[in-house]
Amino acid sequence: MNTAMTTLRAACAGRRGVLLAAVALSVLATAAACSQGGKQLISRGVSCSDKQIILDTHNRLRQSVALGRVAGQPGAANMMEMTWDEELASVAQRWADSCLPGHDHSRHVSRFYVGQNIATSWTYPRPNALGGTPEFAKQISNWFNEVRSYSFRSSSAATGHYSQLVWGDSHLVGCGYAYYHDQSRGYTKVYVCNYGPGGNVAGTAPYATGAPACPRYGTKPSSKYPGLCSTHGYYSGNIACYG
């Protein structure tokens, strides 16, 4: 029995060692990627509470469109409720960690084409201790505010964030975040959100117009966000946070 326990502990220690080594290599690779061009990564990642903020902000804004509460925009018959997707989040975090400008052209996954929204903010003075705190609700709202320049069915590069945010069939989201110092731009925050299935398909309206009609599209009304549709019927977007 003692021999068996010793063997088991050794095996577990070995696995922990491999895991820690993998994490260390990942951190080193991340730091190396961001260090290109005089950039220094300060913090990264999306907390459990921020995941919930991301979901709630997306769903509240999508709900406002679906119910016809946004001036100049028709209501939606098939606006899906969004839930968190870890694969999309992992890909988004990888791109945020790179500290590179522009979109990630390798973001797609085997399940579907992936849409992507990115926001960057920066300041030259050194912020206080909380200066690196992500502000996802603010950035998502900024994307949504492109609606002021949006004409339904006439998407453009200037309003692509908005149209992806309200794309009816997109029902999965995963985001990444990085905070770094850039010698040329100061203290920089980058927000990356990936969506699946991706929107902004040329020649396609972002959603079917009309009053919410989930059963017509093989879905059920959301239990938390009236006006949105769900594959479950009950709300499945709550993130379980522990500790």
Q: What percent of the chain has pLDDT over 90?
A: 64
Q: Are 97 and 194 in contact (CB under 8 A)?
A: no
- pLDDT at residue 13 tops 70: no
- pLDDT at residue 6 tops 70: no
- pLDDT at residue 232 tops 80: no
* pLDDT higher at 62 or 19: 62
* pLDDT higher at 26 or 101: 101
Instruction: Give the pLDDT band (50/70/90) at residue 145.
Output: very high
| Closest by Cα among 230, 234, 182 to 78 | 230
Domain ranges of the chain: 1-34, 43-230
- Region 81-99 average pLDDT: 96
- Region 154-183 average pLDDT: 94
- pLDDT at residue 175 tops 60: yes
Instruction: Give the pLDDT band (50/70/90) at residue 34.
Output: confident
| Closest by Cα among 157, 158, 161, 169 to 205 | 169
pLDDT tens digits for range 18-28? 444 443 444 44
Do β-strands 186-196 and 229-230 pair in parallel, antiparallel, or remain unpaired? unpaired
Q: Are 186 and 100 in contact (CB under 8 A)?
A: no
| Residue 94, pLDDT score | 95
Residues whose CB is less than 8 angstroms from the CB of residue 22 and which lie 6 or more positions away in sequence, other chains included = none
What single letter denotes the amino acid at residue 238? Answer: N
| Residue 82, pLDDT score | 97
| Residue 212, pLDDT score | 98
pLDDT tens digits for range 37-60? 678 999 999 999 999 999 999 999
Euclidean distance between the first and final Cα of the chain, in Å? 35
- pLDDT at residue 87 tops 80: yes
pLDDT tens digits for range 179-221? 999 888 899 999 999 999 999 998 899 999 999 999 999 999 9
- CATH code for the part of the protein at 43-230: 3.40.33.10
The angle formed by the CA atoms of residues 225, 69 and 51, to the nearest 5 degrees, is: 40
Distance of CA 80 to CAs 47, 102, 109, 118, 167, Å?
A: 24, 27, 20, 21, 8
Residues whose CB is less than 8 angstroms from the CB of residue 94 and which lie 6 or more positions away in sequence, other chains included = 104, 176
Give the side-chain half-sphere CA count within 13 A for 170.
Answer: 31
